[in-house]
Amino acid sequence: MTQPATDSHDQTTYPPPADLASGAVATAELYEEAAADRLAFWGRQASELLTWDVEPTEVLDWSAAPFARWFADGRLNAAANCVDRHVAAGRGDRVAFHWVGEPGDTVTTTYAELHAQVQRAANALTDLGVRTGDRVAIYLPMVPEAVVAMLACARIGAPHSVVFSGFSAQALRDRVDDARAVAVITSDGGYRRGEPAPLKPAVDAALEPRDGVESTVRAVLVVQRTKGEVAWTEGRDHWWHEALEAAAPTHEPVSVEAEHPLFVLYTSGSTGKPKGILHTTGGYLTQAAYTHRNVFDLHPETDVYWCGADIGWVTGHTYIVYGPLLNGTTSVMYEGTPNTPTQDRWWQIVEQHGVTKLYTAPTTIRTFMKWGEELVSGHDLSSLQVLGSVGEPINPEAWTWYRRVIGSDRTPVVDTWWQTETGGIMISALPGVTSLKPGSAQVPLPGISVEVVDDEGRVLPAGHEGAGYLVLTEPWPGMLRGIWGDEERYRDTYWSRFAKEGWYFAGDGARRDADGDVWLLGRVDDVMNVSGHRISTTEVESALVSHPSVAEAAVVGASDPTTGQGIVAFVILRENAPRGADGQDVAKALRDHVAREISPIAKPRQVMVVSELPKTRSGKIMRRLLRDVAEDRQVGDVTTLADSSVMATIQAGLQGSRGSED
């Protein structure tokens, strides 16, 4: 777990600004309506927020729990809901995206233009042999085509599997293989930190035969972004722009059942193998539209909304693509890093486009805090009305800074708790209703049911001193429908812990204060949260032991002032491993190795070379003790160790060998 946020030192609450409250989309009545009849409430949301080809008559079928069916007899198309219906209603000239490239180029796409592009892209995929039900991997940086690609897949009913473009070739192949994807949509490269960075070589490497087995991919579509040299596999590779130009301009969206798979998105679990989280169409879209509209108090005619996530994560899926487009929003989308070319890049963009709603992660806010508020004060940010936070608990200090410096001491800050698995926001204040409490995600949204419980499943009441586990006690429309190809893991991971009660186990620690507000306390499993990215300790350990120099590895998440948690690795080297002068060379080699194997985001902050690891008599590594070392604390109880002198040996060996950070 990360450092618990406490509500003890700052009892200040922030009531909704009067002007916002008086025109707010969500009022307190929403809670009453949902509480009176939860399913009827969701039925109304589905019918009002979406356009159905066949209106559903049934809201929820939970008879095959934990496999839910929402709005099961309804039919619709996700892309038609995101695009076509806005154009049909005469809103084709509204801007869907103000895209800002890192080098300074821009692309403005209206709903009508998006409509044209998505239709051509859908036809291009069909021309390449992609059929309804086939999986398509999308491995793209933050370019406008990423949105078009996702919607084109949705339009033909081919579930997309977006793989974060920072992931390695190896990670891409794992995901392509697991999903049995038939096509990959990628680019020649993208811009990051002022430089073009190639991407296509990773796709080429990923699609090489592995252990003699060909990949399932038959076609690769390549978006041209950096215009660098690319290797080409004739017959397999196709330029995106050529394929779209050759494709027919109109396309009839495929009407699918509400439970038709919309996407698979891989996320880390507590084992080394990533889980393919499956989301379907009708329920997911209902929750995406509902939460985006109410949590951000969205007024589509006037708002300019910006979510700073990457489309490779669920936040990008739900709050860059589906939620905003369903609501007919005008969004900003930015390609690059916040400090390119200068550290005030974000504030230039907010000012220039008059951004009204901003959604980002605590780690980003803390980075801005570090860079200093002078960078912000030179910009007019008076357009901002609501600020959102997601990905990890936001410490009260970062919360108040976000509100004061970015929000001109005026805007609500909503802390939104959810997961890849939940599909959309579950716990959050409503900006026009809730009095805000810095550091707490506060209350479940109308229609959502949560509890904080102890090991035995006893509900911990408001004001209970100790921490418990966060559980979701009723199914919700955006819930995952399973783990791709692994029913048992789905049951095990989420539904076995409180099987008797039938509750979903979120894997987060939590407590409830005297007002009943929920405070999230971090993961309770072997999953780290680094800059809002979920990374499993086992995955990093597997990458480390795949290096020829490493005999054994143990990884822990240690609290970090900027990234929430930082990855600290303890490794035992093989006898013959080259060690370098003071372990620095080997540490660097191993950090680079992890970046190559998984992604730079999984790169350990520190690598500590040790001669032994603390293990219980049954051989389980005691991460708790390693965390004590990594966080420079007094080492805790060692009595359950097989060899109680191990910790002393480790600490003695580490004297002077710290500081293997770049």
Give residues in contact with ligand WT7 (CB under 6 A).
267, 314-315, 390-393, 415-420, 441, 506-508, 520, 523, 529, 532, 534
Closer residue to ligand WT7 (CB): 226 or 422: 422
Q: How far is the CB of 11 from ligand WT7 (least distance, A)?
A: 20
Of the pair 353, 523, the CB lying nearest ligand WT7 is at: 523
- CA 580-582-583 angle, to 5 degrees, is 70
**Residue 151 Cβ, how far from ligand WT7 at the closest point, in Å?**
21
- How, if at all, do strands 413-416 and 468-472 pair? unpaired
Shortest Å distance, C-beta 616 to ligand WT7: 26
Is the CB of 203 or the CB of 413 nearer to ligand WT7? 413
Which residue type, as a one-letter code, is found at position 602?
Answer: A
Looking at beta carbons only, is 66 or 423 nearer to ligand WT7?
A: 423
- Choose between 312 and 604: whose C-beta lies nearer to ligand WT7: 312
Helix (H) or strand (E) holding 316: helix 314-316
CB of 8 to ligand WT7, least distance (A): 18
What single letter denotes the amino acid at residue 67? F
Residue 502 buriedness (CB in 10 A; 0-12 / 13-18 / 19+): middle
Dist CA 582 CA 46 (whole Å): 61
**CA 36 remoteness from chain centre:** 32
Give min distance, CB of 421 to ligand WT7, in A: 7
Nearer to ligand WT7, 237 or 392 (CB): 392
Beta bridge partners of 387: 358, 413
Closest contact distance (angstroms) between CB of 357 and ligand WT7 is: 17
Structure tokens at 188: 């020649």
Q: Taking the CB of residue 579, how many other CB atoms lie within 10 A of it? A: 13
Q: Which is nearer to ligand WT7, 72 or 524 (CB)?
A: 524
Dihedral of CA atoms 293, 299, 305, 311 in degrees, nearest 10, equals 30
Phi and psi, residue 201, nearest 5°: -55, -35
The DSSP code for 601 is G
Distances, alpha carbon 542 to alpha carbons 227, 376, 558, 576, in Å: 36, 42, 19, 20
Nearer to ligand WT7, 42 or 417 (CB): 417
Distance of alpha carbon 107 from alpha carbon 105, whole angstroms? 7
Kindly state the smallest distance separating residue 576's Cβ from ligand WT7, in Å.
39
Residue number with CB closer to ligand WT7 (92 or 557):
557
What lies within 8 Å, CB to CB, of 402 at 6+ separation is: 365, 387, 389, 394, 413
Least distance from ligand WT7 to the Cβ atom of residue 405, Å: 20
Least distance (Å) between residue 168 CB and ligand WT7: 18
Query: How far is Cα 556 from Cα 566, in angstroms, rounded to an integer?
Result: 8
